[in-house]
Amino acid sequence: MKTKVAIIGAGISGASIARVLSRYENLEVHLIEKAPDVGWGVSKANTALIHGGYDDDPEKYPTRARLCIRGNRLWHQWVKELEIPHVWNGTLIVATKDEDFDELERLLERGRKNGVPEMRLVDKEELFHLEPNLTREAIGALWVPIVGQIGPIPAVIAITENAVANGVKTHLETEVTGIKVENGEVRGVETKDGFIEADIVINAAGLYADKIARMVGIDYFEIHPRKGEYWIFDDDVPGPKRVLFPTPTPISKGIVVTTEISGHLMIGPNAQDLPPEEKENLATTKEGLEQVWEGAKKLWPQLPPRSKVIRTFAGLRPEPTGGDFIIKAEEEVWGFINVAGIRSPGLTSAPAIAYEVAEIIERDLGIELKEKEKWNPYRKEISHFFMMTPEQVNEAVKKNPSYGKIVCRCNNVSEGDILEAIERMKFIGVKTPSVDSVKFRTKATTGTCQGSFCRPKIVQLLAKEYGVEPWEVTLKGKGSEIGIGDVKVLLRGDA
């Protein structure tokens, strides 16, 4: 008989746990998410870095320090298996004054303690060879070559697709309202759509992990949101080759300057602690964005004119009591595992967190996990017209003429790409058609015009493939419908 596992939260942590647990034949895994699609919570808006592991103090934050470097190593494997967009371009922590080297030496020593390979200090000459357009005030840096960047939502999508292919059942648009406990043991999860039986409940609920924990009487930690704001520029604006950090101060790690994997210069984030009740506050502020702008200029003085900005946004990080990740089987309630407070470097640590949870199930819950004989670690990336050679385009169009119709001109996204994205949405259980679900799979609507040209065509394709009226298609789930109804009834005289 299979042990039933319910994972609450389909962000990077929850999806990674689902993938790892899908390896075992004696587990039945359910991935529960209140949003219409995967990766739309904390995982959606961040700097998208695979950190090097030098930043987390192993004495203050032992779990973060241990899992960050292990996660970095695992990502090198996962991006290949799952064909996740990525770049391993390294990071430079830049010194602009002599006293900065004291802090860089401390980071170097900490990184070595944490097991980070190949870190070293570089002088001014080598620094400008690594990053020619850096501020002229730079005098040296700490170089960490194992740092990389990925697309966070494409990563969650890829991991979930692979988990589903290996037998995981998703429950999207399913909000958890309670957890049933009998005689000190988990029995299942109560949701707005009914009861899901479970012998083990894994709480990977991001900003709401404290609320989920309280459902079983565990209240020793609280999650408060920490907001970070960002600017993104058009893709014709040159950005750095490396990920650039200033030397950190006791107050701040500083503003990051990077070229994200789609080729856009991105600056941010700042850090603003919000009260626990503001877990949906994703508003950008004039003051916060100015702080980011001024901070970025210290490393990258040639910031383009603001007319080149295509988007500003904010993300929230779940800051836990004590600052370290909370990953443990709770003794008071057998079968309840917290994966809470997964703030930075949570994206980096996610694969390692997943293996840690599998170890907890065996070690602390005493369940021997039996590997499947035919577990499939691979997943193919969605087709992207903009990545095809002319020969590949000709072949694709011969097989399927929809690849010859360009829908998004900014990013060269074809109708074929969008139809494949919709097919994949359905495969992982996306029930409500949304433009954002297509955006995160294809890059449509993320270019210079931000969807002004392509959104109506995407809406038509979603309506046709989901069998709904165009005005029932949403931007990002129920409550964000594109239209108000069939206004042409007035012309037809049907009203």
Transcribe 21-71 into DSSP letters: HTTBTTEEEEEE-SSSSTT-SGGGSS--EE--S-SS-TTT-HHHHHHHHHH
214: in domain: no
Residues 314 and 417 in one domain: no
pLDDT of residue 495: 57
Residues 245 and 118 in one domain: yes
Distance CA 226, CA 44 (A): 14
Residues 302 and 398 in one domain: no
% helix / strand / coil in the chain, to the nearest 5?
A: 35, 25, 45
391: in domain: yes
Distance CA 12, CA 435 (A): 21
Contact 337, 200 (CB under 8 A): yes
Residues 135 and 275 in one domain: yes
How confident is the model over 81-129, as pLDDT tens digits?
999 999 999 999 999 999 999 999 999 999 999 999 999 999 999 999 9
Q: Which of 273, 290, 320 is the last residue of a domain?
A: 320
Angle between helix axes 455-466 and 415-427 (nearest 10 degrees) is 40
CATH number at residue 236: 3.30.9.10
246: in domain: yes
Residues 125 and 236 in one domain: yes
Residues 399 and 313 in one domain: no
pLDDT of residue 250: 73
56: in domain: no
How confident is the model over 26-43, as pLDDT tens digits?
999 999 999 999 999 999
Q: Residue 316: in which H helix or E strand, if any?
A: strand 309-320
Q: Which amino acid is at 411?
A: N
CA of residue 8 relative to chain centroid, distance:
16
Tally of domains in the chain = 2
106: in domain: yes
Give the chain's largest Cα–Cα span: 77
Distance CA 318, CA 211 (A): 12
Distance CA 495, CA 488 (A): 9
Residues 232 and 137 in one domain: yes
Angle between helix axes 455-466 and 435-442 (nearest 10 degrees) is 110
Distance CA 268, CA 309 (A): 13
Active site residues: 51
Give the chain's residues under pLDDT 70: 251, 494-495
Q: Which of 320, 347, 367 is the last residue of a domain?
A: 320
pLDDT of residue 347: 98
Q: Which of 272, 288, 320 is the last residue of a domain?
A: 320
Distance CA 381, CA 199 (A): 34
Residues 287 and 392 in one domain: no
Residues 116 and 239 in one domain: yes
8: in domain: no
Residues 423 and 289 in one domain: no
307: in domain: yes
Q: Residue 461: in which H helix or E strand, if any?
A: helix 455-466
Smallest CA-to-CA distance from 382 within 428, 335, 340 is with 428
Q: How far does the chain reach from its first CA to its final CA, in angstroms? A: 58
Transcribe 165-224 into DSSP letters: HTTPEEETT--EEEEEEETTEEEEEEETTEEEE-SEEEE--GGGHHHHHHTTT--S--EE
Residues 316 and 390 in one domain: no
Domain hosting residue 391, numbered range: 385-489
435: in domain: yes
Q: What are phi and psi of 68, to 5 degrees?
A: -65, -50
